[in-house]
């Protein structure tokens, strides 16, 4: 089976197999119940209110009987691992149903009995958890039943960090994806809330003030594959920061995540001033809708400035012009004049990127306030200096006052590698707006974040330990209402002090927070920190290869990280080919280096798409692979032709599965991420990447659903039991012992 490289999006999406966390499920208790999963979940609605560590949760699930007989439904709700659960009340179509909480030992027997009778391993993971169980109620064929559960949960707290977990994950129990899933979480705290972080999903987080936060998460036609997790930190003062850490082995580096947020300012608080220079491409290719959107976006950017900000506008084609010869102080009068200037911008001519940037950067005059340059282009340089490296060097040399340069590429005709050189060389980022996207909206989203800088030129350090491979390399300025997410590796564990320093206007301020870096602890709840670091590191490796050229060491590391963490890229998607030997280091390096040669394409759909994907890795905010694919390939439609040349149509997502574009049905996954482990399908069995070839040959063989299988499950933690829930054969390393679980004989 040959998989072309561009199909990597489908492979990444398919690697999102369940952590097997289950929310409420129903079991058909009829003695003659047909095998398989004969019900669907039409809707899941979760409403939770969290008050000072206590969560009141209400979940409603609409079950649909898609079978031909009446289901004698027994409702089961595996309890979250952390936090005390009480006051559980269950309603079925508005009528309260009797039920009770079962302790772990009693619950384990129920889980085991269901696994044995249904020949379904999905519940094995929960054998170490408690259980809420109800009486049986009927669901006629074709009918729906709305089940509502209310309970109170004491959330886990570790120093200033509080964690809320809701157990999603129904793929193992439903016939189809969940039609609609929505979670609303309202957090209120007497202590000030600083950072709010969702490591598992792209949830919307809105801070109303320092004591109230609203979190929403909504999806349709989805197979939930993991627990929803959210952490938030409490801290008094102008700035709050905390460190989350994870160390898989004492002999290996640990991984840390720093979250830093300022207090929410009152609406009448005076914003801190900044300098912004807008650089707008008005060349002939910007004609029509693009120039109209650019003018509207520029007006919106001007409206987001504040009194005492300094600003200017540079417009360019082959000639360079500016709104004013020097920076202007923002006021209602200067804004009105600037808006009239923008209204008269007309397109025409070629593209002198080099001259425009040198003019804009040359306007900056001091470091008393943070400086930002917003640069927009829709084409290649066609006037003035044309050489990519020379343009980037000239911009860096002209940037005497350390302005952060944010590059916006519009359409597919830009030199995307040049934009990455410009932004990366000047402590900024690039963003790409494809032809059918709204330029005005894209710039507006960015401008909304660029309000008032709370702390500029930010520096972060952890005392008493050595740090390495920290990302982002250039820590962004911290804005009011914003949050810094900084990851890296550390050597020494134990107590440490987190120090943050930055500039507030001309004043340098520093902050200090106590923290602890974890020693070896595989059962820690912060394994996602390592995964987030690996995603960021992969983005950095691709960026280095893109801008500096390929080499053996970087390629080997890219392949190793992709393999270990199941993070497939356009350049390592060959790992999902069942015929590829994961241990053939030299062969796989050669495949990756051949794929990486595609980075020589710097413009067009392929060139822009590759840089968009790279930015998705570089700017990843959580450890969910779906955030990468949606920010990269899905956004740009990147699919491979297998030849490294033009891009072709590829698989599309439908109902949580990847299907071929010609309607040929779902593509079967060959990579799975389960908890902290990655499994690849080889020879019709799933192989844990932690298992070496010689260890596989000596594995302890256990038959699924045998007494030995359940004995093994009883001896393991819930973390390890999730690796025994495969419906296929699996080879897995459990705390140093390798097991091969074969399918039960029929």
**21 has a pLDDT exceeding 80:** no
Structure tokens at 237: 């003062």
Report d(CA 395, CA 331) in Å as an integer.
Answer: 29
Comparing 314 with 100, the larger pLDDT belongs to: 314
- Provide the 8-state DSSP code for 655: T
SS3 at position 638: coil
Q: Which of 276, 481, 262, 506 is nearest to 368 (CA)?
A: 506
pLDDT of amino acid 644: 29
* Whole-number pLDDT of residue 88: 83
Report the pLDDT value the prediction gives residue 78, as an integer from 0 to 100. 85
Which of 64-73, 111-120, 219-228, 373-382 has the highest mean predicted lDDT (pLDDT)?
373-382
For domain 240-264+453-519, which CATH number applies: 3.20.20.540, 1.10.420.10, 3.40.50.720, 2.60.40.1230?
2.60.40.1230
What are the backbone angles phi and psi of residue 329, rounded to the nearest 5°?
Answer: -80, 130
Q: Is 35 exposed, middle or buried (0-12, 13-18, 19+ CB in 10 A)?
A: exposed
Can you tell me the mean pLDDT for 543-571?
95
Task: Quote the tokens at residue 81.
Answer: 């691992």
Q: Are strands 652-654 and 657-659 parallel, antiparallel or unpaired?
A: antiparallel
CA distance readout (Å), 6 to 564, 640, 656? 20, 3, 19
Q: In this predicted model, what pLDDT tens digit does every residue of 100-148 receive, in sequence order?
A: 888 888 999 999 998 998 888 988 988 888 888 988 899 999 999 999 9
203 has pLDDT over 80: yes
3-state SS assignment for residue 360: helix
What DSSP character marks residue 203? Answer: -
Q: Which of 553, 643, 668, 615 is nearest to 1 (CA)?
A: 668
Q: What does the DSSP 8-state code read for residue 666?
A: B
User: When comparing pLDDT for 51 and 87, which is higher?
Assistant: 51
What is the per-residue pLDDT across 464-510, written as a single tens digit (0 to 9) for each? 999 999 999 999 998 888 899 999 999 999 999 999 999 887 788 99
Q: What is the pLDDT of residues 419-442, one digit of tens each?
A: 999 999 999 999 999 888 888 888
Q: What angle do CA 213, 216, 218 make, to 5 degrees?
A: 175
With a CB cutoff of 8 Å and minimum separation 6, the contacts of 53 are 154, 155, 157, 162
> SS3 of 325, please?
coil
What value does the mean pLDDT take over residues 234-262? 92
Nearest-CA neighbor of 364 among 279, 477, 283, 450?
A: 279
Residues with Cβ < 8 Å from 437, sequence gap 6 or more? none
| CA distances from residue 414 to 29, 167, 606 in whole angstroms, order as listed | 61, 44, 11
- Closest by CA to 375, choosing from 457, 456, 446, 435, is 446
Residue 35, pLDDT score: 62
- Measured CA to CA, the distance from residue 65 to residue 75 in angstroms comes to 14
Same fold, 25-224 and 240-264+453-519: yes
Q: What is the model's pLDDT at position 267?
A: 56
Looking at residue 652, what is its pLDDT?
30
Judging by beta carbons within 10 Å of its beta carbon (0-12, 13-18, 19+), is residue 366 exposed, middle or buried?
A: exposed
For residue range 230-239, what is the model confidence (pLDDT) as tens digits? 999 998 888 8
Please provide the average confidence, as pLDDT, over all residues in the chain.
85
The predicted pLDDT at position 126 comes to 86
DSSP count for the chain of H helices, then E strands: 17, 39
Is residue 739 within a helix (H) or strand (E), and if so which, with residue range? strand 737-742
* Domain boundary assignment for the chain: 5-12+529-654, 25-224, 240-264+453-519, 275-449, 683-742
pLDDT over 90 (residue 574): yes
Instruction: State how far the Cα of 19 lies from the Cα of 531, in Å rounded to an integer.
Output: 15
Distance CA 97, CA 614 (A): 52
Give the closest residue to 616 by CA, choosing from 184, 138, 12, 119: 12
Whether 725 shows a pLDDT value over 80: the answer reads: yes
* CATH 2.60.40 holds for 25-224: yes
User: What is the C-alpha separation between 254 and 533, in angstroms, rounded?
Assistant: 11
Decide if 197 contacts 259 (C-beta within 8 A).
yes
**Mean pLDDT lowest for which of 267-276, 423-432, 556-565?**
267-276
Rounded Cα gap, residues 45 and 407, in angstroms: 40
pLDDT at 280: 96
The reported pLDDT for the residue numbered 83 is 56
CA distance 180 to 577: 33
CB-based contacts of 264: which residues, under 8 Å, 6+ apart? 207, 208, 209, 210, 480, 481
The tokens for 384 are 């003035």
**Predicted confidence (pLDDT) at residue 554 exceeds the cutoff of 90:** yes
User: Would you say how long the chain is, in residues?
Assistant: 746
CATH homologous superfamily for 275-449?
A: von Willebrand factor, type A domain (3.40.50.410)
pTM score over 0.75:
yes
DSSP code of residue 419: H
Residue 662 binned pLDDT confidence (cut-offs 50, 70, 90): very low
Work out the end-to-end distance of the chain between its first and last CA atoms, rounded to an integer number of angstroms. Answer: 29
By three-state DSSP, how is residue 459 classified?
strand
Helix (H, G, I), strand (E, B) or coil at 258: strand
How far is residue 245's CA from residue 188's CA, in Å, rounded to a whole number? Answer: 26
Contact 405, 423 (CB under 8 A): yes
Residue matched to tokens 């074709």: 142
| The pLDDT of residue 667 is above 50 | no
Phi-psi region of 457 (alpha: psi -120 to 50; beta: other; left: phi over 0): left
């Amino acid at each position: 089976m040959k998989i072309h490289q561009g199909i990597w999006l489908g492979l990444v999406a398919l690697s999102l197999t369940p952590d097997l966390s289950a929310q409420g499920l129903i079991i058909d208790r009829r003695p003659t119940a047909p095998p398989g999963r004969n019900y669907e979940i039409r809707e899941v609605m979760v409403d939770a209110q969290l008050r000072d560590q206590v969560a009141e949760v209400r979940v409603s699930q609409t079950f649909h009987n898609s079978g031909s007989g009446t289901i004698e439904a027994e409702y089961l709700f595996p309890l979250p691992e952390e936090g005390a659960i009480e006051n559980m009340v269950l309603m079925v179509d508005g009528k309260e149903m009797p039920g009770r909480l079962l302790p772990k030992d009693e619950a384990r027997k129920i889980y085991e009995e269901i696994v044995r009778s249904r020949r379904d391993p999905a519940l094995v993971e929960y054998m170490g958890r408690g259980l809420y169980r109800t009486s049986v109620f009927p669901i006629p064929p074709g009918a729906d039943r709305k089940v509502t559960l209310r309970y109170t949960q004491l959330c886990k707290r570790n120093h200033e960090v509080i964690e809320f977990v809701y157990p999603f994950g129904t793929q193992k129990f439903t016939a189809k994806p969940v039609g609609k899933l929505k979670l609303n979480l309202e957090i209120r705290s007497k202590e000030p809330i600083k950072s709010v972080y969702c490591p598992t999903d792209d949830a919307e987080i809105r801070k109303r003030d320092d004591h109230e936060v609203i979190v929403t998460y909504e999806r349709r036609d989805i197979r939930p594959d993991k627990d929803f997790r959210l952490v938030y930190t409490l801290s008094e003062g102008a700035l709050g920061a905390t460190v989350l850490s994870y160390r898989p082995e004492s002999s290996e580096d640990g991984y840390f995540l720093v979250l830093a947020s300022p207090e929410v300012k009152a609406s009448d608080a005076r914003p801190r001033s900044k300098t912004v220079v807008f650089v707008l491409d008005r060349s002939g290719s910007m004609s029509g809708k693009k120039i109209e959107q650019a003018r509207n976006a520029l007006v919106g950017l001007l409206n987001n400035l504040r009194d005492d900000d300094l600003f200017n506008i540079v417009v360019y084609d082959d000639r360079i012009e500016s709104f004013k010869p020097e920076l202007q102080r923002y006021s209602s009068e200067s804004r009105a004049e600037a808006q009239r200037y923008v209204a008269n911008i007309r397109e025409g001519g070629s593209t002198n990127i080099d001259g425009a940037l040198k003019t804009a950067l040359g306007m900056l005059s001091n470091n008393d306030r943070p400086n930002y340059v917003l640069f927009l282009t829709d084409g290649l340089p066609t006037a003035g200096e044309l050489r990519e490296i020379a343009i980037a060097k000239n911009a860096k040399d002209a940037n005497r006052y350390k302005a952060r340069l944010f590059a916006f590429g519009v359409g597919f005709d830009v030199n995307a590698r040049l934009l990455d050189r410009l932004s990366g060389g000047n402590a900024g980022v690039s963003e790409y707006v494809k032809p059918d996207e709204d330029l005005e909206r894209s710039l507006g989203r960015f401008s909304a974040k660029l309000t008032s800088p709370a702390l500029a030129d930010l520096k972060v350090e952890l005392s008493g330990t050595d740090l390495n491979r920290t990302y982002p390399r250039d820590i962004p300025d911290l804005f009011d209402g914003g949050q810094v997410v900084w990851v890296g590796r550390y050597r020494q564990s134990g107590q440490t002090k987190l120090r943050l320093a930055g500039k507030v206007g001309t004043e340098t301020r520093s902050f200090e927070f106590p923290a602890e870096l974890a020693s070896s602890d595989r059962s820690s709840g912060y394994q996602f920190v390592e995964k987030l670091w690996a995603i960021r590191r992969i983005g950095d490796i691709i960026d280095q290869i893109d801008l500096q050229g390929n080499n053996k060491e970087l390629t080997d590391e890219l392949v190793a990280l992709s393999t270990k963490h199941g993070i497939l890229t356009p350049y390592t998607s060959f790992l999902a080919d069942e015929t590829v030997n994961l241990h053939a280091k030299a062969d796989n390096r050669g495949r990756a280096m051949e794929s990486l040669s595609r980075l020589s394409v710097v413009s067009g759909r392929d060139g822009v798409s590759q840089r968009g994907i790279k930015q998705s890795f570089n700017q990843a905010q959580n450890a969910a692979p779906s955030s990468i694919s949606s920010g990269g390939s899905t956004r740009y439609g990147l699919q491979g032709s297998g030849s490294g040349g033009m891009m072709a149509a590829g698989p599309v997502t439908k109902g949580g599965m990847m299907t071929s574009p010609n309607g040929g049905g779902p593509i079967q996954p060959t990579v799975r991420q389960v908890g902290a482990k990655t499994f690849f399908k080889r020879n019709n069995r799933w192989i844990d990447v932690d298992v070496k070839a010689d260890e596989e040959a000596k594995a302890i063989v256990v038959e699924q659903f045998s007494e030995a299988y359940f004995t093994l499950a009883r001896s393991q933690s819930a973390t390890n039991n999730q690796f025994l829930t495969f419906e296929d054969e699996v080879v897995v390393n459990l705390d140093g012992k390798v097991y091969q679980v074969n399918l039960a004989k029929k």
